[in-house]
Structure 1
């Protein structure tokens, strides 16, 4: 769950509802989408189906959702470790005195994912097997691929390429 709408890469605002907390309080859900953050090991993660709750002061990660995605979570003593499907350590977090695991992650807003790439550029980037944007521009400028339209401003980052790396 995340509180800032501008941090979402994609946001479906037709998803509405409420989340009820342990103390009985409820907060309104104003959308569902994907965000991107940088893990402590330098890798990028793009969790999907993240609720947008503008009234939320702190972001909350669901351990259940991480486990459903194949991550392994181990809590022992004062620490929690989260490993990805390949067994690589993503996070190691010390438990706070109030029994919470507070993880400080670097937000990567949607502006860093795609910059000013048009939908047509994203389509051709995917069609060409996620070739680099500079190679895609070269192919477009020199008309090296039949049917490839003139692409303007093909620079930026691809969410899929970042996740795989």
Structure 2
């Protein structure tokens, strides 16, 4: 398996999203060993909110595909910007943050997520989801996500919305 990188090592360098393992690899397949694994200590940390929504603990993100501006792979032709396999440590959280021009889908594989979503009107929705459940956030909305006592593993897909 490829070494795990810190958030800074990945996002503030030329570290690739994927390192091919041979000259014979092509656009259609990736081997797990070459996929970037990134450790975030307090993903989307937000120091402008109440401490409970600041974000804390560890998130491991396996960057399966990335078409965001800073790490564009130029593999996907759709508006999908990222496709990740993410794991939050027990009781870790993703800080409250707003989605300006993307929608994002979480599909929970393992564990439990406590989600607080603030819609465009300022209405707050709180929900606990378990394995097999999904969470959608649309442009103009904000969310805070916290793993349960056993942690959580989930797939994240984000797409640009015009």
Give the structure with the higher percent strand: 2
Structure with bigger RCO (C-alpha 8 Å, 6+ apart): 2
TM-score between both structures, scaled by the size of structure 2: 0.28
TM-score between both structures, scaled by the size of structure 1: 0.28
Give the structure with the higher percent helix: 1
